[in-house]
Amino acid sequence: MGYTVLMFTANWCAPCGMVKKYLGELATEYGFTLRIVDVEQAPDLVSLYSVSSVPTLILFRNDQPVSRLNGGVSYDRLRRWIADYVRT
């Protein structure tokens, strides 16, 4: 199965940088694709996925959204979230 995490972010978002770093590490470990979306550059995607805050993370399996996580979260929380869906 193919997994992708879509991360909605913005340049002015302080917690987004750490979450992005953590996701990069986890993408290497778990083998999912990480796609970064700047909310100011992609308003159509923001609307399509009803994003109202950043960071917003949406996990897709085979191009279908299966889970969502909002806000600045710890590495451990992100790891648990990914591990619940993506098996190595």
Query: Where in the sequence numbering do the catalytic residues fall?
Result: 13, 16
Locus of tokens 């993506």: 86
| 2, 30 Cβ separation under 8 angstroms | no
Locus of tokens 């978002």: 13
Query: What 8-state DSSP symbol labels residue 54?
Result: S
